[in-house]
Amino acid sequence: MDSLEPQFDILIVGAGLAGLFCALECKRQGFSPIILELRKDLEQPVGDFITIGPTACRAFSKWPTLYEAFRKAAYDTSIYYHKQNGEIGAGPRKVSESFGWMVLRPDLHKALMDTVLAYGIEVRYRQHVVEFLEKDDKAGVKLADGEVLHADIVIAADGIRSRSWTIVGGVEPRTYSSGSAIFRCAYSTSLAMEIPSIRTNWNLQEKGETLHIFLGPVSHGVMLVGKEKICWAWMHRDDGTTSQESWSAKISNSTTRQQLDADGEWSPEFLSVVDKTPANSIIHWKLVWRDMQQTWTSPGGRVVQIGDAAHAFLPSSGNGGTQALEDAVSLACCLRIAIDRQGSAGIPTATRIHNTLRLERVSFIQQVGFKRRHAYYNIDWEAVKKDPSIVAMEPQKWLYEHDPEKYARERFEECRDCLETGKVFVNTNKPEHYTFTPWTVADLEAGKI
C-alpha cells in the first residue's frame, strides 16, 4: 500500500445479507460505509428460503421500512412432520416466535437492498477484490484491475470464498465433504396448485402457509407452501459428481427423480411437487464442513471477517443467516464505542472485542448444527406421538433472547480490560454449561468435542 491517506471510513466487501445489513448498522452508528460487490447488479438474487431468528428480527425493527417489508414477505407457517411415505406423524404445530420467521432469500435481499439505497449508502458493482491489505493504521483492498482502495477498516462479508483469509490467519480454511448434499428449488405456488392433491390437501385458504418435513432413514425432504412461492429441498447422501457450493450448480429433473426413487418410498405429494419443478431450476448444493476459525481479524485489527467469511454454517443448520446479521449489529456497535473514545486508533480494539464477544456463541451454534445433521434420521414415531418436541427441536432462551447490541455495550469495557491484562473473559451469550475449546471437524467426527 503506497498511499496511507484513507479515501473512505469503511469498505464492506460483499453485498449479501451480512454485507448489506452491516452497512445499515454502520450507517445507524454514524459511519459512511461503501459496499463493493463482485456482480454486475443485484436485480435477480437467487435462492430459496432462509430462517431468520428472533435476535435478527428485533435488529430489523430498528429500521421500520425494512422491518415492514420483512414481515410482509415472511411466511406465517404451521409445521407438519411426515414419515417418508407422507403419513403425518406430528403437527400441525404453529411456528413459535422463539423459532423466528422463514422468508425467501431473494425477498429479504431485496428488502435490505432497498433500505440501503434509500439511506444513500453507495454500492459499487463489478468490484473484483483479489487482495486484502493492511499497513500500519490503514487497511484496503486491491481490485482485479490493479486499483487499490484505502479505508480505516475493511469488513470482509464476501462469504465462503473470501480472499480475506490471506491476511486473517494466513491459512485457507480447510474444507471437508459432509458426505451429503441438498437438492433445492423455489417456484410459483400457482404452478404447484395445478397438482390436484396439493390443491386439495394444502389449500392456502383452508390450511394457510405450511411447512412439511418428510423424514426418511438416511435423508429428509422439506416442502414450504407459501402464497407466492413453493420451496422444496431434499438432503441426501452425495457421491460428489454434480454437487457444488454454488447457486449455479444445476441438476436435471429426471436425475433428481431417479435419486429420490432409489432412496425409498417418498410421499406422492412431495414427488409431485418435485416433478412439477420448471426445467433447469434445481440447485444441487454440496454440504461442506469447515474447521472453526478462532481469529476473524487481521494482525493490525483493521480487516475483519463477518458472516460466512468468518464462520460458515451448513444451510441445513438453520442459523447461519441469523448469526451473520448478529455479527453486523455487534461489529457496528463495537466500532462506535471504540471510535468515540479513541478515534480511528480504536478500530483494532473494536474488531478484537467483537471477535471475543461473538466467538464462543457462534462456535457452539456451529457444533449444534454438526451434531444435529442426522437428528431427523431413524425417528421413533411412537415416541413422537407421546412427545412431539422430539422432532420440534425448539430453541433455548440463551439463543433467542440475546441482544447483540446491548451485549456489546454492556460487556465492552470488561472485555477490553481482559484483552489488555490477559485475564480470562467469560461470555454469557451462550449456554451456561458450555466451555469453549478450539475444534476441528475431525474432533467433532471423533466425538472429542
pLDDT tens digit sequence for 173-202: 888 888 889 999 999 999 999 999 999 999
Per-residue pLDDT at 1 exceeds 60? no
What is the C-alpha to C-alpha distance for residues 82 and 215, in angstroms, rounded to an integer? 6
What is the reported pLDDT for 8?
A: 60
Residue 297's pLDDT band, with cuts at 50, 70 and 90, is: very high
Which of 40, 65, 50, 61 is CA-nearest to residue 18?
Answer: 50
- In angstroms, the Cα distances linking 335 to 239, 297, 316, 338, 351 are 45, 13, 32, 5, 7
What is the C-alpha to C-alpha distance for residues 217 and 213, in angstroms, rounded to an integer? 13
Per-residue pLDDT at 5 exceeds 70? no
Per-residue pLDDT at 3 exceeds 50? no
What is the reported pLDDT for 368?
A: 86
C-beta of residue 285 within 8 angstroms of C-beta of residue 244: yes
What is the C-alpha to C-alpha distance for residues 140 and 126, in angstroms, rounded to an integer? 17
What is the reported pLDDT for 166?
A: 96
Query: What's the maximum distance between 2 C-alpha atoms anywhere in the chain?
Result: 69
Annotated active-site residue 257? The verdict is no
The residue behind cell 438416511 is: 218
Query: pLDDT by residue (tens digit) across 402-426?
Result: 999 999 999 999 999 999 999 999 9
Residue 45's pLDDT band, with cuts at 50, 70 and 90, is: low
What is the reported pLDDT for 43?
A: 63
388-394 LR contacts (CB < 8 Å, sep 24+): 388/81, 388/90, 388/91, 388/93, 391/81, 391/89, 391/90, 391/213, 391/215, 392/79, 392/90, 392/93, 394/96, 394/98, 394/99
What is the reported pLDDT for 206?
A: 86
Question: Residues 379, 270, 212, 232: what is their CA dihedral angle, to the nearest 10 degrees?
Answer: 110
C-beta of residue 169 within 8 angstroms of C-beta of residue 22: no
Is the Cα torsion angle 237, 242, 244, 250 positive or negative in sign? Answer: negative
Catalytic residue among 93, 105, 184, 361: 184
What is the reported pLDDT for 40?
A: 86
C-beta of residue 51 within 8 angstroms of C-beta of residue 102: yes
User: Which percentage of the chain shows pLDDT scores above 90?
Assistant: 75
What is the reported pLDDT for 378?
A: 75
Which of 399, 406, 428 is CA-nearest to residue 55?
Answer: 399
What is the C-alpha to C-alpha distance for residues 17 and 25, in angstroms, rounded to an integer? 12
What is the reported pLDDT for 4?
A: 42
The H-or-E segment that residue 207 falls in is helix 204-207
Query: pLDDT by residue (tens digit) across 123-165?
Result: 999 999 999 999 989 999 999 999 999 999 999 999 999 999 9
Query: What is the chain's mean pLDDT, rounded?
Result: 92
Per-residue pLDDT at 312 exceeds 80? yes
- In angstroms, the Cα distances linking 383 to 177, 321, 389 are 32, 32, 10
What is the reported pLDDT for 316?
A: 67
Question: Residues 96, 99, 105, 107: what is their CA dihedral angle, to the nearest 10 degrees?
Answer: 40
C-beta of residue 392 within 8 angstroms of C-beta of residue 89: no
What is the reported pLDDT for 135?
A: 93
197-206 LR contacts (CB < 8 Å, sep 24+): 197/268, 197/269, 197/272, 198/225, 198/269, 198/272, 198/273, 201/269, 202/269
What is the reported pLDDT for 44?
A: 61
- DSSP for 72-129 reads HHSB-EEEEEEETTS-EEEEEEEPPTTT-EEEEHHHHHHHHHHHHHHTT-EEE-S--E
User: Which percentage of the chain shows pLDDT scores above 70?
Assistant: 97
313-316 LR contacts (CB < 8 Å, sep 24+): 313/365, 313/366, 313/369, 314/178, 314/287, 314/288, 314/289, 314/369, 314/370, 314/373, 315/182, 315/184, 315/285, 315/287, 316/182, 316/235, 316/287, 316/369, 316/373
